[in-house]
Amino acid sequence: MYKVFGTQCEDKESGVPSPRAWWTSVALLLGALTIPVFAAQVPPLTDYPNHLARCYVLAFGNTDPILSRMFSAHWQIIPNIAIDLLLPALMHVFSPFTAGRIVLAVCLLLPTSGTIALSCALFRRRSFWQLTAGFAAFNVLFLMGFMNFTLSIGVALWAAAAWIHFRERDPWLAVAIGTLVATPTFFFHIMGLFFYALLVACYEIFAIGDHGIRTTAERVNALKRIGMAAIPLIIPFILYLNSPLENAGGAVEWTSLRRKAYSLLIPFLGYSLAIDLLVIAPIVGFLIYCLYSKKAWISRPLALCFCVLLINYAVLPQTIKGGFWVDSRMMAMLGFVIFAGFVPRGLTARQEAVLASVIAVLFLVKVGFIADVWRSSQRDVNSVREVVSQVEPGSMVLEADVTKDENPAWFAAMPLGRNISLLNPTYWHLGAFVLLDRHAFWPTIFAIDSQQPIRVLDPYRESMGGGSAPPDYHFLDARQLPTEEKQRFPFIANWTNHFDYLLVLNAEGARDLDRFLPDKLELVNRKGVAALFRVRQSGAGLRASAK
């Protein structure tokens, strides 16, 4: 019978795939995950272009005569800098776009392989079901470009798998591995450290419970286990107390119950709700069938972890301490837990083979669809790069958006790659190409002092916007902005005196963009998703930057 530690789970049962077949399937799964990465130079992941721009500044900004006037490195204890540590170094070896694609591949491979490793550590057996971890790889938060978070949960899964594998065999080796991994995980993203601590805590709770706490010896053993599990977390805890996040403020924002319910699908949503449901429904259906017919092993530690994550998702806000989509991160982690904590039982070799075939077909459908969306989205990338090609280096470019409110019909029919299942647009940060291609400044670069290791210098600093989504272009014509919008977009005030250009994204959705503020704007170029205007003003932006 299967025990809580995952050390006994009858492996004599028929249907266990051979090592060769299983390892071959795992290799093919991981290889298939990278197919979309080769389909697009810059895939439609919301925050990804902004991350590329910031890491480009970290890699080359100090030696570039223009960028060095805009930015400086600002390293401090920040629990959100995975790609800031990895990507700039790779950019010195590869082109920025190739380096970015390498890190994106790691973002896909690390959580998926970590989920498989965790399942193997828990159940001590192989199953083709473990390959379903790949369905959670392209989750909403990955598609939104939350690369630091994605890398950190991949490390957390691997670290938890190592803890479970070695804890009963060599406890101090487990502690050593945990200590070596926990601190880098903290710097990668604090949610990864939380995930690691939760996985280990759930395992230890059942380990202690199964040993009992009735006798003095059992209570001493429980205290030893708690102490050893806590050792890897000591340094990260001290680092957190000395990080800007400890004293970070910011508004607490809650999402609607309707959106909360819809976001339960976050582990499986992508660019098309219909395709996503078509792919995942058979997998979820099989899982439910196995549970109903009692043809499944379920890891008690991961069942507890599942419940904790679900409760956290229900009670947490969407925004806190300057972090966004906080509650949704619970659901992304929960997706990997589902596939790691469950293994079908009682299947014959033939049934295992059929299961593997169905998983492979459905996964290839999902990967093929994503690859096609990514390939098609390159039209938007190429359009933006062509439109901004006339921007002078050192100039200041204001980025704005055509929102759903102006043209709901267009928004509903726009290319799939511009939106993630009605949850979030993906084109918001394409303005990053004004920096990547033209070495110009745009105000929504991720450069908040307490969250990123770069600082915007004067006079550009007074025009930064904190890395939020771009404003509605109609705000530029508003006589008086609402207080909330003034706080979100402080750079809009006197924008004609601060900026040299206006870049409007999702431009096809605008009804009269060519005639927008003709006394203040001159259309320079327009193609597809982007329209570039020159600001008719005395040159406060460009002339100041040229000095």
Q: What is the mean pLDDT of residues 485-514?
A: 87
pLDDT reported for residue 4? 41
CA separation for the pair 246, 449 (Å, rounded)? 14
Distance between CA atoms of residues 179 and 268, nearest Å: 32
Kindly report the average pLDDT of the chain as a whole number: 89
Identify the pLDDT of residue 29.
94
Question: Could you give the count of Cα atoms lying within 13 Å of 537 in the half-sphere of its Cβ?
Answer: 22
**Residue 463 pLDDT grade (very low, low, confident, very high; cuts 50, 70, 90):** confident
The answer as to whether 398 is a domain residue is yes
The confidence score (pLDDT) of residue 10 equals 47
**Using 50, 70 and 90 to split pLDDT, how confident is the model at 323?**
confident
Enter the tokens of residue 237.
């805890």
Rounded-to-integer distance, Cα 269 and Cα 190, Å: 24
Q: Do residue 308 and residue 383 come from a single domain?
A: no
Rg (CA), the chain: 25
**Overall domain count for the chain:** 2
68-76 mean pLDDT: 93
Across residues 143-157, what is the average pLDDT? Answer: 96
Tell me if 431 is assigned to some domain: yes
DSSP H stretches of helix in 440-488: 483-488
Residues 302 and 408 in one domain: no
Q: What integer pLDDT is reported at residue 486 of this predicted model?
A: 75
Nearest CA-CA partner of 292 in 355, 344, 354: 344
pLDDT at residue 7 is higher than 50? no
Q: Is the bond preceding 459 in cis, omega lying within 30 degrees of 0?
A: yes
Whether the per-residue pLDDT at 546 is higher than 50: the answer is no
Q: Tell me: do 297 and 439 sit in the same domain.
A: no
Cβ-Cβ contacts under 8 Å for 257 (sequence gap 6 or more): none
Q: Residue 285 falls within a domain, yes or no?
A: yes
Indicate whether 258 belongs to any domain: yes
Q: Has residue 318 been placed in a domain?
A: yes
Residues 326 and 455 in one domain: no
Same domain, 264 and 204: yes
Return the ∠ at Cα 381 (arms to 85 and 416), rounded to 5°.
105
Nearest to 155 by CA among 99, 109, 123, 105: 109
Instruction: Look at the chain and count its residues.
Output: 547
Domain co-membership, 223 together with 312:
yes
Q: What is the mean pLDDT of residues 168-191?
A: 95
Structure confidence by residue, pLDDT tens digits, 86-108: 999 999 999 999 999 999 999 99
Structure token pair of residue 26? 């795992």
Question: What's the rounded mean pLDDT across residues 212-227?
Answer: 93
44, 373 in Cβ contact below 8 A?
yes
pLDDT of residue 176: 96
Assess contact for 336 and 153: CB atoms under 8 A.
yes
pLDDT for residue 226 is more than 60: yes
Give the pLDDT score at 14. Answer: 52
Identify the bridge partners of residue 523 per DSSP, sorted by sequence position. Answer: 533
On whether residue 40 sits in a domain, the answer given is no
Structural domain harbouring 542: 375-546
For the cut 90, the answer to whether the pLDDT of residue 124 exceeds it is yes
Last residue of a domain, one of 304, 331, 347: 347
Q: Is residue 52 part of a domain?
A: no
Same domain for 499 and 417, yes or no, is: yes
Residues 326 and 383 in one domain: no
Same domain, 281 and 384: no
Pairing of strands 397-401, 424-425: unpaired
Mean pLDDT of the 508-514 span? 87
For residues 476-493, average pLDDT: 78
Is 27 inside any structural domain? no
How many Å apart are CA 249 and CA 542, to the nearest integer? Answer: 34
Are 399 and 306 in the same domain? no
Whole-number Å distance between alpha carbons of 474 and 442:
18
Helix, strand or coil, per DSSP, at residue 297:
strand
**Taking a C-beta distance cutoff of 8 angstroms, is the pair 185, 192 a contact?**
yes
CA dist 438 → 90, 373, 387, 391 (Å): 21, 27, 11, 6
Spell out the long-range contacts of 204-208 with Cβ–Cβ below 8 A and sequence spacing 24 or more.
Answer: 204/229, 205/301, 205/304, 206/4, 206/5, 206/300, 206/301, 206/304, 207/4, 207/5, 207/167
Coil, strand, or helix at residue 112? helix
- Percent of the chain's residues with pLDDT above 90: 67
Mean pLDDT, rounded, for 164-183: 95
CB 495 within 8 A of CB 476: yes
Average pLDDT on 385-392 reads 96
What's the rounded mean pLDDT across residues 241-267?
81
- 3-state class percentages of the chain: helix first, strand second, coil last, to nearest 5: 60, 10, 30
What was the pLDDT predicted at 13?
A: 52
Looking at the fold, whether 325 and 435 belong to one and the same domain comes out as no
- Same-domain check for residues 343 and 392: no
* Token digits of residue 78: 């920040």
